Structure 1
Amino acid sequence: MNILVLGSGGRESAFAWKISQSAACAQLFIAPGNGGTGAYGKNINLNPNDFEAVKALVLKENIELVVVGPEEPLVRGIHDFFLADESLAKIPVIGPKSEGAILEGSKDFSKQFMARHGIPTPGSESFSNESLQEGLAYLDNHSLPIVLKADGLAAGKGVVICQTVAEAKEELQAMLGGKFGSAGSLVVIEEYLTGIELSVFVLTDGDNYVILPEAKDYKKIGQGDSGLNTGGMGSVSPVPFADQAFLDKVEQKIIIPTIDGLKKDGIDYSGFIFFGLFKVGDEPLIIEYNCRMGDPETESVIPRIENDLVELFMATAKKQLKDYKLSISPKNAATVMVVAGGYPGDYEKGKTITGIDNVRQSVVFHAGTVLESGVIKTNGGRVIAVTSLQDNQFDALQSATADAARLYFDGKYFREDIGFDLV
């Protein structure tokens, strides 16, 4: 069959890499793709949020399966668009309709959903410009630190942790004043958790689900988890501190109530659910949902899935996950993200990348790259994800870190300590 992957990052590179290995895939298209995805299929230069352009491509190339990588097209309703169009309605779309994607599209909605269905999560309240004074008064009595979250999509940058009440008040007014655009027209003020983060993923057909490998990503730009937040500087899977007893708690207390809650609320949800979790003591609490796979976690998770990914997606589309057996590699995956100088602040693009052919024990997943006249150049803040799959975690970390060092472009930077805190 002909398959379309929408998106341009490392996550979509990992999808394309895995899908291209399937005997069921005749032709693969990636839109818009990046400087590396052309190795797995054909890049098509279009915006995934331009649904009419997506429709034209799907009909022209006889696409029979669409895999949506990023969250924005899902929140904007690309799955609904397909279902409402007679020429597209029978084409499976991997990703929820907008009524389900709101789990990520609105943090206030997701917090209300969690409360309604008894899903353990930090306490919170939401405030708008109309209730600004109540919000400022609420902060006066809040424990420190204080977490502020823009309600809508803010490209992964809408969460701020404030150490003082004065800082939190200033930040609340800035967010409601347009710091994150319309995404911050409502702000969730949330209790700060002390624990360790991890991510758990499921793929659901609306009735049943399979649990994918868990992962932990590293958000801070600097060694030792210091400095500014980024979109993610690396990830590992499996997660050593998430033993089976803990993962069983995640399933019983968070995953099952979420799937059941969606059904009770009449939300027909088909696609990925990303559970952003904290382990506090031995208990899991959820801090956020995403309606898609994470990045760079996907680059660590997908290589550990031994099943044919196209078969898995079709089982999801046909609501046949009830008896589906997921086969997970016992090996350890480690991903190191190589980023542009200056990231996550202002960074330069257009730097020539060399050394990719020197990578020895890893898979290179392009993220922010572009192919110009046969030359790979930087085209984003997070440039390349280097993933190694090895028998133990130390070897995976060592291989991925060594291979990240074999790449070169002007201003290149990567963290040399990803995952070593867990060894």
Structure 2
Amino acid sequence: MNILIVGSGGRESAFAYKISQSPRLSSLYIAPGNAGTGQYGTNVNLKVTDFEGIAAFALANDVSLIVVGPEEPLVKGIHDYFLSREDIRHIAIIGPQQQGAQLEGSKDFSKEFMQRHDIPTAAYRSFDRSNLEEGLAYLETQSLPIVLKADGLAAGKGVLICETLKDAKAELKAMIADAKFGAASSVVVIEEFLKGIELSVFVLTDGESYKVLPSAKDYKRIGEGDTGLNTGGMGSVSPVPFADEAFLAKVEERIIKPTVEGLKTDNIPYKGFIFIGLMNVGGDPYVIEYNVRMGDPETESVLPRIESDLVDLLEGVAKGDLANRSYTVSPKTAATVVLVSGGYPGDYGNGKAISNIENVKESIVFHAGTKEQNGEVLTAGGRVLAVTALEDDLFSALQQATADAGRIFFQGKYFRTDIGFDLI
């Protein structure tokens, strides 16, 4: 079977690593990939939103399965594009159609979906330019801190936690009236702040049945002790120690089942991953957000723990017989530490030479923002590499991943040395 992965980050590197181990695989392609994905397959210079180019390549190379890594092509309708053309509709796409992708593409859509299907989430209301004054008045009736979310995709930057009423009003105006996040914040969801511990649960569904994948927790803040600016993710661990059997049973009953059933009830076809961002509030799970793909860097912790053939599960999604497939998970713990460019998540430079990756023996190094030039690996993004260790316990995994992150060199390199230590 020939498989194409769409994307270029650490998540896609982890997919390439895992899929390349499958005995069912003939050829693996990654579009556009990065300096590290080439070791698992062939990089193809195509943009993730170049649907025509992706289709032409898939046809020319007899690709039968496409795994879509990032959210943008899903929200823009890559699955619908393939279904709309007679010559390519036989190619299976792992990722929802545009309507289902609205679970991530529109915060307002996802909140309405949760409300409609009695899925526990924070109380909220949505506002736009037509009722901005009403939104400002609504803020006065809410307790602090309060959460403001841009309705559309804002590259992970569209969520603000405001500590004062003055800040909340100023930010609401900036988002709606001044288009702080462009078209993404033309509608803003004002949401109750939930206090608890965050984690992520991943589900793979063929639209009828589902498989719950290992849980993970990621670390968003740039600074040690979870301080400073939000990032795309500085590290992750899997499994999550406090997400025991009893808690995950609540997640399945109250959230996963109603989500999959809700999609069916609403006639929303869905074949792919559902990332459920959760808050554990006193032992009860609440949904913070849905994503319609795997998370990054959580994927780098989750996939190495899956011992069986991932392609078998993906084929189950494509054929609609996921219920008949099974998979096994390692009891070991995975810890991922992300190495970033100096200055990230603000301004940072690219093109710094990376050395010593080959001396990392005990961890897996997933490339994210890298490129190859004249035989040299260079930085090409804010998040550059993700180092994942798989060990018998959390402390050992964290120790190994952190030590190996320290073995790699590039100018301005930064990583957090406290990932996961809140859980020990």
TM range (shorter): over 0.9
Quote the Cα distance in structure 2 between the aligned partners of 1:169 and 1:310.
48
Structure 1 distance, partners of 2:261, 2:86, is: 30
Matches within 5 A, 1:7-406: 7-176=7-176, 177-406=178-407
Amino acid in the other structure paired with 1:133: E
What is the SS of the residue equivalent to 1:322?
helix
Q: CA offset at residue 77 of structure 1?
A: 0.6
Matched residue, 1:411: 412
SS at match of 1:230: strand
In the alignment, is the contact (CA less than 8 A) between 2:312 and 2:325 conserved in 1? Answer: no
Separation of aligned partners in 1, 2:308 and 2:78: 27
Q: Provide the aligned C-alpha RMSD in A.
A: 0.6
Checking the alignment, whether the CA contact within 8 Å between 1:202 and 1:274 is kept in structure 2 is: yes
Structure 2 counterpart of 1:42, one-letter code: T
3-state SS in 2 of match to 1:188: strand
CA distance in 2, matches of 1:102, 1:307: 31
Once the two structures are superposed, residues 34-58 of structure 1 have per-residue CA deviations (whole angstroms, 9 ceiling, x without a partner) of 1110011111111110111111111
Distance 1:6 1:360 in 2: 28
- Corresponding residue SS for 1:218: strand
Contact 1:210 1:324 in 2 (8 A): no
Matched-pair contact (CA < 8 Å) for 1:367–1:382: yes
Q: Does structure 1 retain, via aligned residues, the 8 Å contact 2:219–2:234?
A: yes
Q: Write the distance in 2 (CA, Å) between the matches of 1:260 and 1:357.
A: 47
| CA distance in structure 2 between the aligned counterparts of 1:253 and 1:311, rounded to whole angstroms | 28
Tell me the distance in 2 between the aligned counterparts of 1:344 and 1:133: 33
CA-CA distance at 1:367 after TM superposition = 0.2
* CA shift for structure 1 position 362: 0.3
Which structure 1 residue ranges, 4+ long, deviate > 4 Å from structure 2? none
Q: After TM superposition, give the deviation of residue 324 of structure 1 in Å.
A: 2.0
Contact 1:14 1:299 in 2 (8 A): yes
Number of aligned residue pairs: give it.
423
Q: In 1, Cα distance between the equivalents of 2:324 and 2:137?
A: 52
Distance in 2 (CA, whole Å) between partners of 1:326 and 1:162 is 42
1:152 positional shift: 0.4
Q: Per-residue CA shift, 1:52-94, capped at 9, x if unaligned?
A: 1111111111111100000010011100110111111011100
Structure 1 residue 357, shift from structure 2 partner: 1.1
TM-score of the pair, normalised by structure 1: 0.99
How far did residue 355 of structure 1 move?
1.1
Which secondary structure state, in structure 1, belongs to the residue aligned with residue 371 of structure 2? strand
CA distance in 2, matches of 1:93, 1:118: 29
Q: Percent identity?
A: 65
SS in 1 for 2:323: coil
C-alpha separation between the residues in 1 aligned to 2:240 and 2:96?
27
Shift of the alpha carbon at 1:222?
0.3
For structure 2, the 5+ residue unaligned runs are none
Q: Any idea what SS the aligned residue of 1:179 has? A: coil
Give the alignment's TM-score, normalised by structure 2: 0.99
Partner AA of 2:64 in structure 1: E
Cα distance in 1, alignment partners of residues 312 and 322 from structure 2 = 11
Secondary structure of the residue aligned to 1:121 is coil
Please give the alpha-carbon distance, in whole angstroms, between the structure 2 residues aligned to 1:324 and 1:256: 18
SS in 2 for 1:347: coil
Tell me the SS of whatever aligns to 2:414: coil
